Structure 1
């Protein structure tokens, strides 16, 4: 199941949580205060009080606005709340490596990943006027069991037995095959490695949706080489509605070079595009939490689901076409004539970006 509308995603998540009988595994980068998050907390508390094993993992930085009273309620109901990397000065470099992952596993039967967060902004559309454009991919079968193992690698507990959860037939029997790809820098750069391999192996098309596009030079070079091979490379990026306007300026600083190399750029107009997904040759897909920027590829802990599934590829292809139709295709000629003040801002931001990447990566080999 693939969902891209936040109201539908919120409804699906709430329903799956309400239907839980044995176990709920819930991990997210952002869980903020608000009306919808409060509703989710209430469901989790009720389920824990009813005897369902509820495990929650939240990033200490991304979910810093999670109310302390909610944490106390969850623990009083019996839920096991774990904070990933509390902020502290000791071991600062390690603590700055955040968990950007999103995964929910219910009863060992359903697993869902994507870029969604538990915050009212996602449903009200702040800073825009409509809900965010998001992505949730849900599946059953052996991927749900893999999801349990992935979840507990970020927990202090060992993997418990699956209990008495019912056994669903594997979805992959009819839609294809998939596997989780974990990025856990600095030792595990699997997300970057797999994305880079897919780009290098592309023959016909590479379509990328990401709100933040700022990869390292090696990934950029692979994209340019793909265009030289005749591959149709398209980027679907956040447009005027964004949570980081200055960061958008920095991303736009690379537009002219990208378009000069033959990359097609689209900016989504109707809402803030926060979804992260990629489709190569209409046969290989990646959906999850990782942006195509150097923070996700080199620093944050990320979780993507890699799919070789004809039905999932068809759904993503159709979604891309719909989103391209609602996006602004950046025309290289008018863009070349943009105001001088924009060029000055972009030049300045490019210098900052190069400095940050150089100092952040240090002597690490690409």
Structure 2
């Protein structure tokens, strides 16, 4: 039967122009994503190394290893506060701001609009109007949800506001490297340091899966450590474009009543990570106990081997991390994909259930402890500016131990069989997430 001219024309019509455009845009987007990942090094070969015969934390040689290998600065300080309840954390910060005599310096990664941000602005406004100098150093990416009028009002009353690493067409890939530090310095004499941002997220109200406030804590120190931390603040303050007057800062304080401490910081680079070496030295120094808290737990091969090596020596190795109550599901999926060798080696991994676990710490043996902003992931190791304080501090170690036990009581501890039997879809998603592990 002959085919009509109309039917022939209809069957042979090319796809609409808009479909070609859509296909082209999708191809370009995929190429751009792969190209970005390539330029950022997601295919970079991981250095394969081993560290043997690490001395215990009470051996004087361990301090020398910290200073040399992990580029850690030795100092002294006194713990003067510890808060593990979200309301108490924010109340302690507001009280510290209110106590300022002449200078407030605050550095943070994360802020979102809400009652916590409003209360912070009110406290800062009160101090600024009283003649107190206020310097706010904010990560541009982590505070991008805050409206411009929030900062404008603070600037209008004399508050100095600087943003860390704003986007620039001159170096667009630099935007991936953030400042993850969180510290509040009062008069150069007292510092509050911890994991919480200024956000209602920590109240457990932002996500449907949260049934309780986030698990986190805050510490306060006095002593020489504050002067060193103030220097770290001012370093990024200058890089962000802030003015620096050393006549008003860098207070030297007395050592009386202090204990030895170490400050380890990373300043995002492609070289070896001081934070990773800090973590690995801590793991390999353990003789009896190694308890870790890290919400974003995406260990690289060297870290996995260090954890397994500790367990093979008979060390009680436990990892406390986030569960399905997470603000970054892709990180949780990638993390779970790496549990297998650790669980098989006898390492205990517990996922917090009621809400997001956000606390970060390492507890070694009886009384060595490290706390700060760093996670066990490539982002903390190689992309972010991080900061941890470590040392033999029995009083703090006791508080961290209790926090760990209380949090584990509300966690689910997986077995190797649990990990093997997780849903097939989760396994596939985990493999896909791990393709971008080096960007997490």
Q: What is the TM-score normalised by the length of structure 1?
A: 0.90
Is residue 151 of structure 2 the alignment partner of residue 151 of structure 1?
no
The aligned residue for residue 133 of structure 1 is 215
Q: Distance in 2 between matches of 1:344 and 1:55?
A: 46
Q: Distance in 2 between matches of 1:349 and 1:208?
A: 23
The aligned residue for residue 5 of structure 2 is none
Q: Please tell me whether the aligned partners of residues 35 and 120 of structure 1 are also in contact (alpha carbons under 8 angstroms).
A: yes
Structure with greater strand share of residues: 1
Find the partner of 2:131 among 48, 51, 67.
51
The aligned residue for residue 414 of structure 2 is 330
The aligned residue for residue 206 of structure 1 is 290
Q: Distance in 1 between matches of 2:245 and 2:404?
A: 37
The aligned residue for residue 304 of structure 1 is 388
Q: Please tell me whether the aligned partners of residues 280 and 303 of structure 2 are also in contact (alpha carbons under 8 angstroms).
A: yes
Task: Extract unaligned runs of 5+ from structure 2.
Answer: 1-80
SS for the counterpart of 2:217 is: strand
Q: Distance in 1 between matches of 2:299 and 2:237?
A: 29
Q: What is the TM-score normalised by the length of structure 2?
A: 0.76
Q: Distance in 2 between matches of 1:177 and 1:331?
A: 39
SS for the counterpart of 2:237 is: coil
Which shows bigger deviation, 238-247 or 154-163? 154-163
Q: CA RMSD in A?
A: 2.2
Q: Please tell me whether the aligned partners of residues 215 and 297 of structure 1 are also in contact (alpha carbons under 8 angstroms).
A: no
Q: Distance in 2 between matches of 1:191 and 1:249?
A: 23
Is residue 306 of structure 2 the alignment partner of residue 242 of structure 1?
no
Q: Please tell me whether the aligned partners of residues 21 and 52 of structure 1 are also in contact (alpha carbons under 8 angstroms).
A: yes
Question: What is the deviation of 1:138?
Answer: 0.8
Q: Please tell me whether the aligned partners of residues 30 and 62 of structure 1 are also in contact (alpha carbons under 8 angstroms).
A: yes
Is residue 183 of structure 2 the alignment partner of residue 103 of structure 1?
yes
Q: Distance in 1 between matches of 2:279 and 2:422?
A: 32
Q: Please tell me whether the aligned partners of residues 189 and 298 of structure 1 are also in contact (alpha carbons under 8 angstroms).
A: yes
Q: Please tell me whether the aligned partners of residues 46 and 77 of structure 1 are also in contact (alpha carbons under 8 angstroms).
A: no
Q: Distance in 2 between matches of 1:155 and 1:342?
A: 42
The aligned residue for residue 8 of structure 1 is 88
Find the partner of 1:34 among 89, 103, 114.
114
1:35-80: CA deviation from partner (whole Å, max 9, x where unpaired): 2101101211221121111111001111111221121111111111
Question: What is the deviation of 1:201?
Answer: 1.5
Q: Distance in 2 between matches of 1:213 and 1:33?
A: 28
SS for the counterpart of 1:214 is: coil
Q: List aligned pairs for 1:223-238, cutoff 5 A.
A: 223-238=307-322
Number of aligned residues: 353
Task: Extract unaligned runs of 5+ from structure 1.
Answer: 362-366
TM-aligned CA distance change 1:19 to 1:90, over 3 Å = same
Question: What is the deviation of 1:124?
Answer: 3.9
Which shows bigger deviation, 180-189 or 193-202? 180-189
Q: Distance in 1 between matches of 2:120 and 2:249?
A: 24
Which shows bigger deviation, 51-60 or 128-137? 128-137
Question: What is the deviation of 1:164?
Answer: 12
